[in-house]
Structures are given as structure tokens and as C-alpha cells.
Amino acid sequence: MRTETPPTVRLADYRPSDHLIDRVELDVRLDPRDTRVTATLALRPNPAGRPDAPVVLDGDDLTLLGLALDGEVLAPEAYRADAASLTLPSCPQRPFTLRIETRLDPTANTKLMGLYRSSGVYCTQCEADGFRRITYFLDRPDVLSVYTTRIEADRETAPVLLGNGNPVEAGDIPGTGRHYTVWHDPLPKPAYLFALVGGRLDRVAKRFTTIEGRDIEIAIYVEPGKAERAAYALDAVERSMIWDEQTFGRAYDLDVFNVVAVSDFNMGAMENKGLNIFNDKYVLASPETATDADYAAIEAIIAHEYFHNWSGNRVTCRDWFQLCLKEGLTVFRDQEFSSDMRSRAVHRIGEVRTLRARQFPEDAGPLAHPVRPKHYAEINNFYTATVYEKGAEIVRMLRTLIGETAFRAGMDRYFADNDGRAATVEDFLRAFEAVTGRDLSRFAEWYERPGTPRVAVSGRYDAATRTYRLDFRQARPGAGADAPPLVIPVSLGLVGADGPLDQAVSDRVKDGVFVLEAAEDSLTFTNVAAEPVPSLFRGFSAPVRVEASLDDAARLTLLRHDSDSFNRWEAAQRVATGLITAQVRGDMMEMTGADRFVAALDTFLDAEALRDPAFAAQVLALPSEGDIADEIGQEIDPDAIFAARRALRRRLGAGLCDRLLTLREALAEPAGTLFSPDAASAGRRALRNAALDLIAVADPATGAELAQAQAAAAPNMTDRLAALSTLALLPGEARETGLAAFAERYADEPLVLDKWFAIQATIPEDGTVERIRRLQRHPAFAMTNPNRVRSLVGSFSLANPTQFNRLDGAGYDLVAETVLALDGTNPQVAARLMTAFGSWRRLEGRRRSLAETALRRIAATPGLSRDVTDIGTRSLA
Ligand code: ARG
Ligand code: ZN
């Protein structure tokens, strides 16, 4: 068993850099195996740093070829250099320049950090600490520099050469077959925002005039032949720019905005200044190859990276502990954008589904951490649902607490006060304190401790006084006994048998919001004509678990009558969760309860299905197996959850069958309809496919027939894939034929084959592990491509609970072996995959010990990366 743990970086140890770098001139001569980088750095002592401190530059896997100070080549005894750092023990106490020449091998760079090649295209990824793999540098976000980059490459293989900022010069180098471009980025930035690209790429572009009158060009670069598939992303960039101008008064600040899609990428995308680099999965879309969900994700991620131009780039982070400052805020901004582009209520449901699926389990397991962590061993393991999604919820709560107008004023203030600076969470909150005059120090507690708070609520109606009293109690598991209560905005209202009771009032409720600040508190509504049902945490106003003692009848009243769509959906989810968990606990599926639920859904569909199909599809989609597991919380038996959930789905499918068949007819698109990815069209498809899914679980023969017909004739990928997914859940010949036809049709489309891998990896049957092992040898699969690994093994570990948690341990073994096989080449992706074991302690005993064995086997392997070691250490702690 490995005992050493990686060194820990602590927030409490932060101190300013001893040196600053004002200007960087980079000369990068690209070559597949022997790239040369010359960096000329204008350094000076930092007045805020320690006097006479040595210069210690970060490096990672670098070979130093030359070093000069103010033009003089340095003698070997004047510095110490190795792969990981470059130290000048004594250096001038005045501004000076260092010229550093390094050599790198982009082809051998399988970590996909720093400068690497993706299908022949040179590209970079520098966040969080990849720039030090290009040259020795003060690779920390509070060192901001103005960059000029000259990029040189073979003209034939790299006709396109892109850098940060604006293009200033380009030309040929006669007689060499090489050419170059020079880019200048006038705005100081940290090294993690550096990027360059070189390769053969096609381009789509459009001109745009910003609200400030700047004439700019937006361009997207993609693999040759794929230009039409970038049209939707290009449009999304323009809509993002307009939205940020209208909503936050933020305009773009350079002459060009470039987006490049590459096929090998560790994450979703990266907001490098003026040169966003994307996983091509989040750029390329056509009706034939992309689903509605893909279109929505492209829109959201394009917006996310663009919005970083202000929340992240113009105002950056002082240190990596402040990561939520840019990520939580930017997720909030992209969520708001998508809500404005689509249906706000439906989008909110999706946000909460994601939060509950990813963040709640993370916060309840050994990898839990505060939204602003206090220490880390490997920062790349902190790009988490907690930092991103819970971070966004904190910003949303802030807006709920202070109101929209003050929120906008505070954002303006934040950008104005911190433009060009590396800021902290305190700087963010200070801006809102300044415009509201409020003290937000207690609110700041949300950043400090892990764990999902619980809020218990009970209500009592007094007919004599026509009053309704609500008692609240908050608690924080895992936060420690000393944790002060949180400031929790509770959006709420009362609902009666015929609709919202708007005449009921409470002096503790302002604009529909009650602020719970104490461990316990209560409020009383007056003027309440009859016993009401409380609608609590409307719109999911705080990231908490709510324990309200409402019976199903009360919840079904909310489903029917609440004015808040989110809570209507939530009511149906709660009823379904109750029915499923009761059965998991061994009670038989409570017949009358299930029947009442079916009847309520029938009424609901009758009234709403055609009015708002997207919303209706959300109501029909039951809580996932993961949601149920998270609700049960301990001694989890995934097989029992699967069986109980399927039983309820059968009841729904059987009870609603005729209505669902009719709905499918009513929602069918007339032949020849042109595909549109807009939210309304997508919503009709979603409901139609949700109906198919329920029909198939109740009546497999009919389901198979419908799914086969749809798979064969679907005019778009959304319907084709939905049909194939339904088919995949029905064992037999039709499934294998359908899968084979799909594979043949898309043999040359790696992103589509990813969907094919994922569908097979999530079949909840014995045999899936073996099927995945076969698919790992499929010619389209490659361990070097993160998208392939995520599709085949990632989706298995995250979305196939019965098979991942197989009782013979074969599921754990498969994932553990993949983690180990990947760690030598791409530790970041290996570590991410390993987080699938994060909930192991909550499993029932037999699985718990099998999962622990798999984890210990990984952890005991010699020579592990820091990334995987860190996840192993924390998971087993
Ligand atoms: N900042 C990127 C984003 O927009 C994520 C980059 C994370 N990269 C990494 N290697 N950890 O969310
Ligand atoms: Zn981001």
C-alpha cells in the first residue's frame, strides 16, 4: 500500500509572487517532435514580495537549451535547472530580462497539457498549470503579463497559425517551406490563458459590431470538411456576445474572436484569451449527427467560454483556491443565457438534475470539499461539480437575496473594481456589499465548508385564526459542530385546493422570499382561508435537501396548482421517489399510491402535454437510479433500486399507454419538416421519446416495433438515438441489428460512435462488462482519446449502476483496470474516471468491500501519477 501523499498547497500559505513578469515575447518554432520555444521575459522584483528573493520559475518536463540575462549568456553556476524548475539564486534587484530556450516534443505529449498534437493539429491547454510545460515561468494566476507570440511552422501541414489577441504580422520564410504569424495580446493575462494553434483547418466566420462600436471578426476553425457543422456554434457565439452586452453591459475587447475545435481534449473547452479551444464534441453539430441535447450543450459551452472573457480573463483569480470565482460565476452566467434562449423553467429543472446527480453525491462522500477548497494536492482534481455547480448556486442565492437590480449593480461594481486584477471571493462579495450596504460576511460561509445542508420544514394550520405557521430547522452534515448556520434564501408561497393563495401574507416574506438565517426559525402567514400546501424552495432557491412532511396528496396538489413550474416538477419527483424507495425498503409497491400517481399524471398530461411538451417530458422522466441512491444514502443496493424504479415505470407505461400512443401521434412532425434545434421543437421530440420509453417498458413488443420503425426512418439524430436507446433496453435480435446498422451508418463519425459506445455501456444486463471489453478492441475505440474513454467507460461507471456495482466485482475491475491503463499516458482523465468510486462507502456491505478492494488495488500500484494518487488517498481516507 502506498503511503506517501503528494505535497499539499494551502490557501492559508498564499503570498504574493516575489517577482512579476510585465512582458512576454515568445518565439515558437513548431515541429512534430522537436519544437523550440524562446521566451523573453521582462522580470522585475514585486514590491509586495520578499526583497532579495531568488527567482524560481516553474517547469514541467522541460529541456533547457539556453539561458541569458539581459542578453548575456548565463554561466552554469549562475542557475539551477531541471525538468521541474529553473532557479536563479541571485539576480538583479531591478527590472531585467531573461531569455530562455526550451525544447519540447508535442507528439509525445499524451497528457494533453501544455503543447500537444491532436490529429495532426498543434494546440495547447495551459489551465491550470500547463504553461510550465512550454517554458519556465511564474506559472501562477496572479502574475499578469502582456504577450507577443511569434508562431512558425511548416506551411504545408500547418497553414493556419493562431495566437492570443490580435494578428499583427504574417509571412513566409523563403526557401524553407515554413511560414509564421505574430500575435499581440494588449491585455495583461496570467499564463493559464495562453494558447496557440497550428494546423490544417477549415474556417467559418462572420463580422460583428459590438455595442461599443468595435468591428470584430468571429471565426471558428474545424477539421477540414466539417465547416457546415460549425454554423450553429458560430451563431451561438454571436448570441452570447449580444446577450452579455444586454444583460451585463460586457462587450468584447479584441479585433478577432477565434474558436478552434480539436478532437483530443481533456475537458469541455478552454477560455484562452481571444482563442478559445474546444473539444470538438461541443462545436460540431448537424441534424444528422447531433441530438437536441448536443445542440443545447454546444450553446451553453460556447457561451460559458465566451463569458469567461470578463468573468475569468479581464477579472482573473488570485490563486487556484478562488477557482469558483470564475467558474461558479461563469456557470451562473451561462445558465442564465440558456434560460433566456430556451424555457427558463425547463432549464432550471435540468440544472437541478445535474446538481443532484453530480454535486450532491460528491458532497456526501470522501471527495467532498468546500466550494473554495482550503488545500489541494493536485489542482486539476478540483474542477468539480462543487466548484462549478454549487459555485453557481451561491451566485444565484446572492441574487435572490439582494434582488435583480442590486445584483446587476454589484456585478458592474465587481468588474469595474477588479478589471485587470487577480481577485478573490472576498473581492467579489465586497462589490455587492458596496452597492447594497449589506454585510455579507455570514453569507460567505457558503464558500467555506462542504456538505449539503438539510432544511426540515413543518407546517401547522389554525382554522380559528386563519393562520399557517411554518417551522424551519437547518443542519449541516459533515460541516463540523462549530459551523455557524447558513444564510438560506427560501422562495416560497402557499397553494390551496384550487390554486395559489396569493392573499396569504407574512411580514417575514419579502418578494416571495424568506431568509432563514438561524438554526431554527418560524414564520406565520395570515389570511389563510383553508389548510394550504406550502410550496417551498421555489425554483430550487438554495442547494439544500428539504425535508418537508408533506403527504402525496399535498404534493399532487402542488403538481396540479403551483404557480412555480420547478416545484410542480419537484412534486412529481418526490412522489415517485417515495414510491420507489418504499419498495426498495421492502414494502410492496403501494398499489393505491401508485394508482393515484398514475391518475395525477394522466390529468396533468391531459392539461399540459401539448401546451408545454418539454416540461411534460421532464415530469414523465422519473428520478434516476442515482437520484434514488442519493436519497437512500446508505446501504445502497443498486439492483433493488433498479427493480423498484422499473416497476414504477411499468405502472406508468401500462396506465398511460393509450394516452402516450395518442400523444406520439399528435407530436409527430409532418414528413419533410426542416429540422430546427430550437427549444420548442426539441421539447416535442423529448416528450415523444419519453412516451416511447414508457410504452416500451410496459409493452416490450409494441415498444420494439415503434422503436425499430423510428430508428429506421428518423429524420434526425435525436429521434434515431432515442429509438436506439429504447431498443437497447430490450434484449434480443432487434437490438443487435439496430446497433449494427447504426455502427455501419456512422463508421466514419467518431463523435456519433461515442453515442453508440455509451448506449451499449449503459445496458443494465449481465454481459455488459464483457461487451465493453470487446468494444475496447473495436477499431474506433482509442485509449488516447478522452471522448472515447468517457463514452465507453465513463458512462458505464456513472450511468450503469447495476453493472458497475456487479456482485462479482467485474464492474469495479473493469474501471480500475482502465484507470491504471490510462494513468501512464493521461493522468487527468484517469483521475476523473476514478471518481466513480467516490460513493463507495454508501454501498451495502458486499459491494462496499469489493469497491474498496478495487480502490486499494489502484492505490497500491507503484509509480502512480499525482492525480490518481490524490483521488486514491482522499477516497480511502
Ligand atoms: N476553464 C475551463 C472551463 O471553462 C476548464 C479548464 C480545466 N482544465 C483543466 N485541465 N483542469 O471550465
Ligand atoms: Zn469555465
- Give per-residue pLDDT as tens, 217-274: 999 999 999 999 999 999 999 999 999 999 999 999 999 999 999 999 999 999 999 9
Q: Taking residues 30-42, what's their average pLDDT?
A: 98
- Give per-residue pLDDT as tens, 733-751: 999 999 999 999 999 999 9
Closest ligand (CA of 326):
2
Q: Taking residues 854-862, what's their average pLDDT?
A: 98
- Give per-residue pLDDT as tens, 131-160: 999 999 999 999 999 999 999 999 999 999
**Does residue 732 carry a pLDDT above 90?**
yes
Indicate the pTM of the whole model. 0.98
DSSP one-letter code for 11: G
CB 494 within 8 A of CB 501: yes
Residue type, 498: D
Q: Beta strands 96-104 and 35-45: pairing type?
A: antiparallel
Q: Taking residues 827-851, what's their average pLDDT?
A: 98
Q: How far is CA 746 from CA 304, 457, 486, 783, in A?
A: 30, 52, 51, 20
- Give per-residue pLDDT as tens, 421-445: 999 999 999 999 999 999 999 999 9
Distance CA 760, CA 792 (A): 8
Best residue among 126, 266, 267 to mutate for probing ligand 1, ranked by most atoms within 8 Å of CB? 267
Distance CA 511, CA 505 (A): 11
What is the 3-state secondary structure of 260-324?
EEECCCCCCEECCCCEEEEEHHHCCCCCCCCCHHHHHHHHHHHHHHHHCCCECCCEEECCHHHHH
- Give per-residue pLDDT as tens, 353-381: 999 999 999 999 999 999 999 999 999 99
Best residue among 111, 124, 126, 127 to mutate for probing ligand 1, ranked by most atoms within 8 Å of CB? 127
**Does residue 327 carry a pLDDT above 70?**
yes
CB neighbour list of residue 488: distance below 8 Å, 6 or more residues apart: 397, 453, 455, 474, 515, 516, 517, 542, 544
**Does residue 5 carry a pLDDT above 70?**
no
Q: Taking residues 275-284, what's their average pLDDT?
A: 99
Helix axes 231-248, 292-307, angle to 10 degrees: 50
Nearest CA to ligand 1 atom 5: 270
- Give per-residue pLDDT as tens, 748-762: 999 999 999 999 999
- Give per-residue pLDDT as tens, 311-320: 999 999 999 9
128: CA distance to ligand 1 center in Å?
7
DSSP of 114-180: EEEEETTEEEEE-TTTTGGGTS-B--STT--EEEEEEEEEETTT--EEEESSEEEEEEEETTTTEEE
CB neighbour list of residue 605: distance below 8 Å, 6 or more residues apart: 616, 620, 656, 659, 663
CB neighbour list of residue 68: distance below 8 Å, 6 or more residues apart: 74, 98, 99
Predicted pLDDT of residue 372: 98
**Does residue 4 carry a pLDDT above 60?**
no
Distance CA 527, CA 503 (A): 7
Which string of b and e fits 352-364 if b means at least 16 CB within 10 Å?
bbebbbbbbbbbb
**Does residue 586 carry a pLDDT above 90?**
no
Q: Taking residues 188-215, what's their average pLDDT?
A: 98
386: CA distance to ligand 2 center in Å?
13
Banded model confidence at residue 480, pLDDT cuts 50, 70, 90: confident
Is 687 or 587 the better-scoring residue by pLDDT?
687
CB 777 within 8 A of CB 795: no
Phi/psi of residue 454, nearest 5 degrees: -110, 140
Q: Which of 99-103, 202-206, 586-590, 841-845 has the lowest average pLDDT? A: 586-590
Positions marked active-site: 305
Banded model confidence at residue 297, pLDDT cuts 50, 70, 90: very high
Distance CA 648, CA 387 (A): 35
CB 316 within 8 A of CB 189: yes
Distance CA 163, CA 181 (A): 8
ipTM confidence score: 0.98
Banded model confidence at residue 172, pLDDT cuts 50, 70, 90: very high
380: CA distance to ligand 1 center in Å?
8
CA dihedral (553, 557, 559, 561) in degrees, to 10, reads 180
127: CA distance to ligand 1 center in Å?
6
Q: Taking residues 824-841, what's their average pLDDT?
A: 98
Distance CA 120, CA 298 (A): 24
Predicted pLDDT of residue 479: 79
CB neighbour list of residue 77: distance below 8 Å, 6 or more residues apart: none
Mean pLDDT of the chain: 97
Q: Taking residues 208-215, what's their average pLDDT?
A: 98
Nearest CA to ligand 1 atom 8: 127
- Give per-residue pLDDT as tens, 484-534: 999 999 999 999 999 999 999 999 999 999 999 999 999 999 999 999 999
Banded model confidence at residue 709, pLDDT cuts 50, 70, 90: very high
383: CA distance to ligand 2 center in Å?
9
Predicted pLDDT of residue 2: 42
363: CA distance to ligand 2 center in Å?
20
CB 597 within 8 A of CB 641: no
Predicted pLDDT of residue 874: 98
Counting atoms of ligand 1 from 1, which one is nearest the CA of 379?
11
Predicted pLDDT of residue 212: 98
Q: Taking residues 644-653, what's their average pLDDT?
A: 97
Give me the sheet containing 96-104, strands edge to edge: 72-73, 63-69, 96-104, 35-45, 19-29, 145-154, 178-189, 166-173
326: CA distance to ligand 2 center in Å?
7
Percent of the chain with pLDDT over 90: 97
Length of the chain: 877
Banded model confidence at residue 3, pLDDT cuts 50, 70, 90: very low
Q: Among all chains, which residue has been given the C-alpha cell 490563486?
A: 319
The set of protein residues with a Cβ atom below 6 angstroms from ligand 1 is 125, 127-128, 266-267, 269-271, 304-305, 308, 327, 380, 383, 828
- Give per-residue pLDDT as tens, 531-554: 999 999 999 999 999 999 999 999
CB 28 within 8 A of CB 149: yes
Q: Taking residues 659-684, what's their average pLDDT?
A: 96
Q: 73 pairs with which residues across the strands?
A: 68
Banded model confidence at residue 6, pLDDT cuts 50, 70, 90: low
Q: Taking residues 574-600, what's their average pLDDT?
A: 90
Which cell numbers hold the place of 327?
A: 467558474
